[in-house]
Amino acid sequence: MLVLTGLGALRAQEFRCAVSVNNQKLMSTTQSYESTDKRVFESMKQAIEDFVNGRRWTTLEMQPEERIDCSLSLILNERTSATDFKGQISVQMRRPVYNSTYTSGLFNYIESADFIFTYNENQPLDYDPNTFYGNLSSALSYYVYIMLGIYFDSYGPSGGEPFFEMARTICQTADAQQQYKGWSGRESQKARYWFMENHTNSAYSALHQVYYLYHRMGLDMMTKDQPQARKNIIGALQMLQQVHRARSGLLSVQQFVDVKMSEIVSIFTPAPADEQKQVYDVIKEVSPINAAKLKGFATK
């Protein structure tokens, strides 16, 4: 159980994040690379692990077994100096389902290959939402709060809102530097800015309810009342459809469908024909590319 705690109380960190730094592309190019540089990447990996797993991000008290399971990969494509890199960030997060051993994917996203950052070996990563310490620490803290927002939305109505607001602050602080891509609403709809925008724009406030209805009132009820759980999941998908109709192509809507498609297929393959048809109609409108995965549902 999650409980609020005072600042002086004993605390446990929120994340159990597996971190990897992939430098294979650097080794396979003509860029200068020395075997002794391996320690730089090991130091980078450790610094990211310490940053995410060793820091307090909320005022909630979470038991060690309640820590949020996620993974973060930093894929390095270029090294332009001893301390300057270019690559991609990949983030995944999972959520346990009540009264089962099953874990459900909540977030799975890989950025475009234009993430530029500076890293100094053995220098710890600093964080303050109102201070820009560097693009790496800003991007990491941004995704931490996006994950917290989605995670707590899945447990309570609008439970993630304060964390999305923190992501907004981080975005604004980083964008003020006018130096790095990904932080501005003037960029493509795949910029990291848009995950924050989608979850803080009142026009799409139903997104918060989608996560709650799908997970807490859907997946968590599967072992207790499958028909009602499926009905709630359909309700969540139809709510997602309404968000899509408010504005098509939202990054958060597409991310939700991409993460959930295999799970949706598994849940509704044994379901009644009318439920299958409702699910198909939603997916066909919201994410046509994924509709083909619902083979047979359309004919029900």
The CA–CA distances, whole Å, from 57 to 23, 68, 107, 191 equal 29, 12, 18, 23
End-to-end CA distance of the chain: 42
Say yes or no to pLDDT of 7 above 60.
Answer: no
List, as one string, the DSSP characters of 243-286: HHHHSTT-HHHHHHHHHHHHHHHHHHTTS-HHHHHHHHHHHHHH
3 pLDDT more than 50: no
Q: What is the mean pLDDT of residues 253-265?
A: 97
Distances (CA, A) of 180 to 1, 40, 116, 193, 282: 39, 23, 7, 12, 37
Buried b (16+ CB within 10 A) or exposed e, 89-101: bbbbbbbbbeeee
What's the whole-model pTM score? 0.93
The answer to whether residue 2 is domain-embedded is: no
Calculate the average pLDDT of the chain. Answer: 91
4 in a domain, yes or no? Answer: no
Indicate whether 5 belongs to any domain.
Answer: no
Could you report the per-residue pLDDT of 133-171, keeping only the tens digit for each? 999 999 999 999 999 999 999 999 999 999 999 999 999
10 has pLDDT over 50: no
* Domain count within the chain: 1
DSSP 211-227: HHHHHTTTGGGTTT-HH
Question: Is the residue at 1 inside a domain?
Answer: no
Give the model's pLDDT for residue 123. Answer: 81
Is the pLDDT confidence value at 300 over 90?
no
Ranking 2-16, 115-129, 225-239 by mean pLDDT, the lowest is: 2-16
Looking at mean pLDDT, say which of 10-19, 57-66, 123-132, 206-215 comes out highest.
206-215
142 located within any domain: yes
In a domain? residue 259: yes
Radius of gyration of the chain from its Cα atoms, rounded to whole angstroms: 20
Q: Give the residues across from 79 on adjacent strands.
A: 85
Would residue 253 count as lying in a domain? yes
Kindly indicate the confidence band of residue 274, based on its pLDDT and cuts at 50, 70 and 90: very high
Is the pLDDT at 15 greater than 80? The verdict is yes
Q: What is the pLDDT of residue 5?
A: 35
Structure tokens at 142: 């941004």
Mean pLDDT over residues 194-206, rounded? 96
Calpha distance 285→288 (Å, rounded)? 6
Residue type, 106: L
96: domain range?
14-120+129-299
**Ordered DSSP codes for 6-42:** -TTS----SEEEEEEEE-HHHHTSSS---GGGHHHHH
The pLDDT score that the predictor gives to residue 8 is 32
Q: Where are the alpha helices (DSSP H) in 116-247?
A: 135-153, 161-175, 193-200, 206-215, 226-246
**Given pLDDT bands bounded at 50, 70 and 90, which one contains residue 4?**
very low
In-domain check, residue 206: yes
Q: Average of pLDDT values for 185-212?
A: 94
